[in-house]
Amino acid sequence: MAKRAFLIHGWEGYPEESWRPWLRDMLKEKGFTVINPAMPDTDHPKMNEWLEFLIKTVSNPNKDCYFVGHSLGCITILRYLETLEEGQEIGGAVLVAGFCDNLGYEEINSFFEKPIDWDKINSHCKKFIAINSDNDPYVPLKHADIFKEKLGAEVLIKHNMKHFSVDDGINELAVALEAVLKISK
């Protein structure tokens, strides 16, 4: 079975934005089937809508599934992992500019109405890599530390990449490609 990679954009994002088209093309060259969906109502994201959409999109999770999230896409992936049944496991997840609280934005409160079930997440995924920037204007580096502590994530801190978005001039993200290839070996 071919390895599948799911690229999950963030709040106000879309599939063809920033480095995702580049990553999609690079992963396809490496033999992955890449799914780069447009999450619903991206300007007004609601966790239940995003979660239901992701569950339908993935359909059959297994160890040949790999996820790359950006920003709000990261907590979406973690919440998705909480929904998996006992014995279901994915191959790994790369969390780019991920966070684990609402960062002070009421608009994304629905993603944080209940505590994150770290144990359940860990029971469904054993490989995490967190990629953060040392000058992200939205996501403090403490979130990378939390991912390291709670998920055993390998943490990669990149210099001067801000929020890894198109507004920051990021159209390629080699570190994300390297991360997916590492966890999928």
If DSSP codes are grouped into helix, strand and coil, which group holds residue 96?
A: strand
| Confidence bin at 128 (pLDDT 50/70/90) | very high
Q: Measured in Å, how far apart are the chain's first and last C-alpha atoms?
A: 14
pLDDT at 82: 98
The CATH number of domain 7-172 is 3.40.50.1820? yes
Q: Do 139 and 71 form a contact (C-beta atoms < 8 A)?
A: yes
pLDDT in tens, 78-127: 999 999 999 999 999 999 999 999 999 999 999 999 999 999 999 999 99
* CA proximity to 95, closest of 109, 76, 80: 76
Q: Which amino acid is at 41?
A: D
Domain ranges within the chain, ordered by starting residue: 7-172
pLDDT at 29: 97
